[in-house]
A = this chain, B = another copy of it.
Amino acid sequence: MPETTSPALTVALAYHQAWTSHDMDKAMSYVAGDIVCDAPAGRLEGAAAYRGFMGPFVQTLKAATLIAAFGDNTTAVVVYDTETVPVKSAPAAECVTVTDGKISYSRFIFDRLPFDAARKAAAGSG
Contacts and interface: CB of A to CB of B under 8 A. Distances in A.
Interface in A64-91: 67-68, 70-72, 75, 77, 79, 91
Given A70-B71, A71-B70, A107-B67, A93 B77 contact: yes
Interface string A77-112: 101000000000001110100000000000101111
A77 B75 contact: no
Contacts of A110: 109, 111
Interface residues of A, number: 21
Copies in the complex: 2
A45 interface: no
23 contacts: A40-B111, A67-B95, A68-B75, A68-B95, A70-B71, A70-B72, A70-B77, A77-B79, A77-B93, A79-B95, A79-B109, A91-B107, A91-B109, A93-B93, A93-B109, A109-B110, A109-B111, A110-B111, A111-B111, A111-B112, A112-B112, A112-B113, A113-B116
